[in-house]
Amino acid sequence: SLELPASRALGFYGIVSAATLGGAALAATNIDPIRMLFWAAVINGIVSVPIIAAMMLVVSGGKGDKLALPLWLKSLGWAAAVIMALTVGLLAWSALP
């Protein structure tokens, strides 16, 4: 947290410093920032499919779960996971020669 002194939040400040240095290094290259933003969104969409599926497995668990969702929310969550997986599949299919 930014509220803690640096001596008590070494991990946090290390991550902030690494991200800042990484951003400065990328700014020094000739890579188009819009292209980087586009590919970051593509990677985010691909990685989010297994994450949302895992989350839906957790909240769709059995009896007495504190994270149990109503049926309509489970349906929407699984529909989102399926639509995202189809989108990633279509992306991969469109990239084939």
- pLDDT tens readout for residues 29-38: 888 888 989 9
pLDDT at 64 over 70: no
Per-residue model confidence (pLDDT) at position 12: 87
User: What whole-number distance in Å separates Cα of residue 97 and Cα of residue 95?
Assistant: 6
Per-residue model confidence (pLDDT) at position 68: 72
Name the pLDDT band for 97 (thresholds 50, 70, 90).
Answer: confident
Q: Do the beta carbons of residue 45 and residue 88 sit within 8 Å?
A: yes
Per-residue model confidence (pLDDT) at position 44: 94
- With 0.85 as the threshold, say if the pTM is over it: no
User: What whole-number distance in Å separates Cα of residue 80 and Cα of residue 12?
Assistant: 33
Per-residue model confidence (pLDDT) at position 62: 64
